[in-house]
Amino acid sequence: MSPTLPMAVVAAALQVAAAAPQSPSPWPLLERAAAQYRSATSLQSEFIQVIDNAMIGRFESRGELWQAGESRLSMRFRDPPDEAIVADGAFLWVYTPSTAPKQVLRISLAKTPTYGVNVMSWILDRPKERYRATLLRSEELAGHPVAVIGLDPIDLDLPFSAAVVWLDKESALPRRVQLTELNGTSRTITLTAPRLNAALPKGIFEFRAPSGVRIVDQ
């Protein structure tokens, strides 16, 4: 065997490796999304939420979502009707009359995990400090080209073990988020028409318990 053959093989392998296409980095788009989210005064969208749980099965709901800052959230449901999840800056209010018609839960935001219930802040605030990110694929979602990015948490305070975010390649707006929660539940939130910096409706982050409903502190 020629003593030069192994070197030739190595050189050819190096050439092949150098010519092989490298996977695009997800970080330019993810950091662009994070920068505009941090500078925004609000995020508003119609949403569809799907929860998959091994014990209760699949549950789908829809309504309108508003977020502002790290501790203000309003999810007002049309299906199921009249349900609401509202974070007012101090408390999280959970009212689900379809399953608990006579009570509303009130939870101190000081006792909730990082960012409370603000899912978009979980995903888009300082992502490089919280995740390892991988570009999974490109596809279309509701007619919009999106990058599908897998997020592996390195911040152990986050209340989920894995996440996937669908970011609009043109606007860098989040159009879908899928979370694998610590109990194994899969939660997918699709934002059907997200927009930033919309004027906040008066009282959007206030919750008033209906007459006859008991407030339960947790």
| 99 falls within a domain | yes
- pLDDT at 77 > cutoff 50: yes
Encoded tokens for 101: 């018609």
* Cis-peptide into 24, omega within 30 deg: no
- pLDDT at 176 > cutoff 90: yes
| 50 falls within a domain | yes
pLDDT tens figures, 9-26: 545 544 544 444 567 899
User: What pLDDT is recorded for position 177?
Assistant: 97
The total number of structural domains that make up the chain: 1
CATH number of residue 123's parent domain:
2.50.20.10
| 20 falls within a domain | no
pLDDT tens figures, 95-130: 999 989 899 999 988 765 445 567 888 889 889 999
Phi, psi dihedrals of residue 5, rounded to the nearest 5°: -60, -45
Distance CA(216)–CA(105), nearest Å, equals 5
User: What pLDDT is recorded for position 15?
Assistant: 55
| 10 falls within a domain | no
| 112 falls within a domain | yes
pLDDT tens figures, 23-48: 789 999 999 999 999 999 999 999 99
- pLDDT at 92 > cutoff 50: yes
Encoded tokens for 46: 């119609």
pTM for the model stands at 0.85
User: What pLDDT is recorded for position 58?
Assistant: 93
| 17 falls within a domain | no
User: What pLDDT is recorded for position 6?
Assistant: 56
Range of the domain at 143: 29-194+204-217
Q: What is the mean pLDDT of residues 175-195?
A: 94
pLDDT band with cut points at 50, 70 and 90 for residue 183: confident
| 18 falls within a domain | no
Distance CA(42)–CA(53), nearest Å, equals 31
- pLDDT at 3 > cutoff 50: no
Q: What is the mean pLDDT of residues 150-170?
A: 93
| 9 falls within a domain | no
